[in-house]
Amino acid sequence: MNFFLGEIVGVGVPFLNAFLKNHHWSFQEVGIATSMIGFGTLLFQGFSGVFADLLREPRLLMGAMILLYGVCFSLVSVSTPHHTLTDSLLFGVGMASSFFAPLSASLAFSLVGHRSFAQVMGQTQMWNHAGFLVSALIAMGIIPFLGLGSVFIPIALGACLGAVSLVLIRKSDLIYHLVREPGEEKTLGENLDTIRDERTLSQVFIDFFKNPAIRILLLSTTLFQISNAPVMPLLLLYLRFLDGGNGKLAWVVLIAQATMIPVAWASARYSPRWGHKLVFSVAFIVMPIRSLICAATTNTGILLATQVLDGLAGGIYGVVVALIVGDLTRGKKGFNMLMGLSQIAMALGAVIGPMIQGITVGGVGFRFTFLVFAGVASLAGIIYFHFMPDDLSKHR
């Protein structure tokens, strides 16, 4: 499921800017359109974890959202003459994608519990990035012959296969990380995560914002995503502006995702040993460096090489955020809810970042825009490194 999830996301969002620009959309119109994905994600992100906690049917909900994502994105390929319709479809894309990360992590947690969560998160993220990688290879193969619009073809197929793959997960295996009565875990097996938390979900939500570690996590990752989310699409536009063609566009995704696969494995292996703060700090350090390099050069080879840094940051982020959430909610309710809240950071980044991009690129150019995102990334790193507690067990 995670493989096909990565495949459909990989061929859609990164090429959307170039696709719309190819259909004579202005930079401002492109910025608004791509920010609609962020608006959809932002409005539903916080509810995605709540829905998962209330419905207790993560497979069914994930299948529905994968299919919705596939339908909306596929229709974008024929809706570009109608800007309002395209914006509405992209809003639907954002709404569906808001459920992906919380539900994927919820399925992993429910299958293996806290003890093996880091290992399985590393595996699922590796498969997710492998899907991205395959999507980039597909794009490289079909774009030169069929044009940018061809990247929407694998989305429909991948969405169908992703939804069908959920049938292979048996409901009877989703027995971990459930609220249990005393002694019940003995009848279900050992090493299950036992939750005896009598708080309502509304009280759990309020308590999250009383926790300083959670506040810093949400603030720093929001700034991280504001500086990260628009940079890959911006780099695609910049390369197309410098090179005058589509030949190098797929390499932007390919290099990043190829880097993320081993980084996801390493993050899952070493973050529990070295500490989440240390490993996550690496992601915060490389982000401003990446944007500064993009601002300093017009060499397309060097610009492509910066995607290694993107892969390093993205590979760490995808794994460690879920591990931090798992630690902060161990033995308590609210894992799905906090996963949803943490993903609001990505939604805000997907809204604010493209809006900044649309304003600055059209007004002062690509290089200054990269500098703006480097500044935001630096601020995110300073806040995280200075204020995030080293020992999360004291802040549960």
pLDDT tens for each residue of 2-12 = 999 998 887 77
- Over residues 39-60, the mean pLDDT reads 78
Q: Is 84 helix (H, G, I), strand (E, B) or coil?
A: helix
What pLDDT score does 370 carry?
92
pLDDT for 188: 44
178 strand-pairing partners: 194
Query: Rounded to 10 degrees, what is the CA torsion of 177, 182, 187, 189?
Result: 40
* Proportion of the chain above pLDDT 70, given as a percent: 90
Task: Please name the residues in contact with 126: beta carbons below 8 A apart, sequence gap of 6 or more.
Answer: 261, 264, 265
Distance CA 390, CA 256 (A): 29
Residue 280: per-residue pLDDT: 93
Question: What share of the chain in percent tops pLDDT 90?
Answer: 31
Which pLDDT score, from 0 to 100, does residue 180 have?
46
Domain count, the chain: 1
Comparison of pLDDT for 10 and 176, the residue scoring more: 10
Task: Tell me what pLDDT residue 174 has.
Answer: 78
3 state DSSP class of 358 = helix
Question: With 90 as the cut, is the pLDDT of residue 374 above it?
Answer: yes
Q: Report pLDDT for 32.
A: 84
Please compute the mean of the pLDDT values over residues 205-227 and round it to a whole number. 90
Q: What is the pLDDT of residue 142?
A: 81
Compute the average pLDDT of residues 133-154: 80
CATH number at residue 81: 1.20.1250.20
Q: Which residue has the tokens 């995702």?
A: 257
Query: Taking a C-beta distance cutoff of 8 angstroms, is the pair 137, 257 a contact?
Result: no
| Region of poorest pLDDT, from 117-126, 240-249, 292-301, 349-358 | 240-249
pLDDT value for 15: 76
Decide which of 350 and 116 is more confident: 116
Q: Cα 208 vs. chain centroid, distance in angstroms?
A: 21
Mean pLDDT of 117-127: 90
Interatomic CA distance for residues 171 and 371, integer angstroms: 48
Band of the pLDDT at 204, cuts 50, 70, 90?
Answer: confident
Query: How open is the CA angle 205-207-209, to the nearest 5 degrees?
Result: 85
Helix (H) or strand (E) holding 353: helix 335-364
- pLDDT surpassing 50 at residue 219: yes
Q: What is the pLDDT of residue 43?
A: 83
The mean-pLDDT minimum among 60-69, 134-143, 244-253, 295-304 falls in 244-253
* Stated pTM of the model: 0.78
| Residue 67 vs residue 236, higher pLDDT | 67
The number of helix segments (H) and strand segments (E) in the chain equals 17, 2
Residue 229 and residue 216 in contact, taking contact as beta carbons nearer than 8 Å? no
Task: Look at 49-53, 159-163, 274-278 and tell me which has the smallest mean pLDDT.
Answer: 49-53
Q: What is the mean pLDDT of residues 16-43?
A: 82
Predicted confidence at residue 176, as pLDDT, reads: 60
Average pLDDT score over residue span 47-71? 84
Task: Output the pLDDT for position 246.
Answer: 57
Q: Is the pLDDT assigned to residue 98 strictly greater than 80?
A: yes
Which domain covers residue 286, as residue numbers?
2-395
Q: What is the mean pLDDT of the chain?
A: 83
pLDDT(117) > 90: no
Select the more confidently predicted residue: 127 or 80.
127
- What's the pLDDT score for residue 89? 93
DSSP string, 224-245: HHHHHTTHHHHHHHHHHHHHSS
For the segment 301-327, what is each residue's pLDDT rounded down to a tens digit?
999 999 999 999 999 998 999 899 888
**Model confidence band, residue 189 (pLDDT cutoffs 50, 70, 90):** very low
SS (H, E, C) the chain: CHHHHHHHHHHHHHHHHHHHHHCCCCHHHHHHHHHHHHHHHHHHHHHHHHHHHHHCCHHHHHHHHHHHHHHHHHHHHHHCCCHHHHHHHHHHHHHHHCCHHHHHHHHHHHHHCCCCHHHHHHHHHHHHHHHHHHHHHHHHHHHHHHCHHHHHHHHHHHHHHHHHHHHHCCHHHCCCCEECCCCHHHHHCCCCCEECCCCCHHHHHHHHCCCHHHHHHHHHHHHHHHHHCCHHHHHHHHHHHHHCCCCCHHHHHHHHHHHHHHHHHHHHHHHHHHCHHHHHHHHHHHHHHHHHHHHHCCCHHHHHHCHHHHHHHHHHHHHHHHHHHHHHCCCCCCHHHHHHHHHHHHHHHHHHHHHHHHHHHHHHCHHHHHHHHHHHHHHHHHHHHHHCCCCHHHHC
**What's the confidence (pLDDT) of residue 396?**
62
